[in-house]
Structure 1
Amino acid sequence: MISLGLTSEAALFNIRNNCPYIVWAAAVPGGGRRLNRGETWTINVSPGTKAARIWARTGCNFDGAGRGRCQTGDCGGVLQCQGYGQPPNTLAEYALNQWNNLDFFDISLVDGFNVPMEFSPTSAGCSRGIRCTADINGQCPSQLRASGGCNNPCTVFKTDQYCCNSGNCVPTNFSRFFKDRCPDAYSYPKDDQTSTFTCPGGTNYKVVFCA
């Protein structure tokens, strides 16, 4: 068996709700948790995890069995998410212990925006965090407005120009709306150069809603 030199320690993600309203935090892997204002939820994520997400759901109503619906970010009508959320939702995305034993992390608006967010490392001497705290919902273009959030144009128009299905798309006026307000966040699928950040494998992180 070939060793890739991966760290064997789980990464800790501390998820905090600073919003003046309830959010139902969601994580894949991780599940879900109701967070009142000021409450936190910590999850342990295995090294080597890829294509992982954390996001906030709003306007939720769940029964005692954990079934219900959310206005934004709903993940199949369950409290304990097994799959990704329904747009619009601000996403904290990450992959742990990848190339060169680095973690890769970003905030993505490719699924739109629902809640302001900070996504920052908290250990390993890694200090460069990301914030997307603009009033995107309040300033959302009329074509992209949704209940409780602001859709990305791909969700609305479903064209290659906005969705990048061919892999050859460029920024648009709609993607620039997001980029101007959150320069560190992904605004369209090919927005890699200014939107992906790295830390050494084994770093811990925090995700703060309404930072």
Structure 2
Amino acid sequence: MAFYHFNLLLVLISALGTDAAVFTLQNKCEETAWTGCTFDPSGKGKCITGDYGGGLNCAGAGGAPPVSLAEFTLNSPMDFYDVSLVDGYNLPISVIPSDGTGDKCRAIMCVSDLNQKCPNELQQVEKGKVVGCKSACMAFNKPEFCCTDAFGDPNTCKPTQFSKIFKESCPMAYSYTYDDLTTTFTCNGANYLISFC
């Protein structure tokens, strides 16, 4: 699968029951960041971006992994959000809530450059440069890395040598499918700044 640009980024937004939160996308990268937004099955919400630094373009749903994801489930009374590297990594990303409340309402980020630490077998290379780091699931497509088949629950699907590299670099981010305990955050009544680079 071709990786379109080193700065391709997918923002996944799942809205359930409310559309009151405001998402601001900020690009601090030198290159244009291509964002993709998806919404709940009813089609609520829209992807609107503005030029904040290196430029932002809304590419619609989809995009070619590996990508750094910001994931949201908007719900009343609480929003759930995380930074996910389950599909891979390409850019530093942070999610900063404002005006929200709750014990787990805090800024989360993956600002380490995993492209520089990416094992050879996971590297996505274009024109001689590592532009993304695939997840082991994407690279090998095996149940033990994808948490499928006999490895389809948290008791059998454990961190791998590859997901541990992601976790060490970005401890607040999902590193594999069942990495829930330290990576899911919640806010009440927040707006969100999603910043790239």
TM-score relative to the length of structure 1: 0.70
* Partner residue, 1:96: 74
CA RMSD of aligned residues (A): 2.3
In structure 2, stretches of 5+ residues that fail to align are 1-15, 40-45, 126-130
Q: Is the 8 A contact 2:92 2:196 kept in 1?
A: yes
- The reply on whether 1:174 has 2:165 as its aligned counterpart is no
Give the aligned partner of residue 94 of structure 2: 118
CA distance in 2, matches of 1:86, 1:37: 23
Corresponding residue for residue 106 of structure 1:
82
Q: CA deviation at 1:208?
A: 0.1
Structure 2 letter corresponding to 1:207: I
1:119-172 per-position Cα deviation (integer Å, ceiling 9, x unaligned): 111112465110101010011100000032100000011111110012230001
Following the alignment from structure 2 to structure 1, what is the Cα–Cα distance between the partners of residues 38 and 85? Answer: 17
The reply to whether residue 205 of structure 1 matches residue 192 of structure 2 is: yes
**Structure 2 match to 1:23:** 33
Match of 1:146 in 2: 124
Which structure has more RCO (C-alpha within 8 Å, separation ≥ 6)?
2
Identical-pair percentage? 40
| Letter paired with 1:199 | C
Q: Distance in 2 between matches of 1:37 and 1:179?
A: 29
AA matched with 2:89 = F
Q: Is the 8 A contact 1:33 1:80 kept in 2?
A: no
Moved more, 165-174 or 187-196: 165-174
Q: Does 1:188 align with 2:176?
A: yes
Contact 1:24/1:34 (8 A) holds in 2: no
From 73, 85, 88, the counterpart of 2:63: 85
Report the residue type matching 2:183 in the other structure: S
Q: Structure 2: how far apart are the matches of 1:9 and 1:156?
A: 36
Deviations 1:31-63 (A, max 9, x none): 4758463557xxxxxxxxxxxxxxxx8xxxxxx
Change (3 A) 1:7 1:143: closer
Deviates more, 1:123-132 or 1:148-157: 123-132
Match of 1:76 in 2: none
* 1:133 paired residue number: 111
Aligned residues: 164
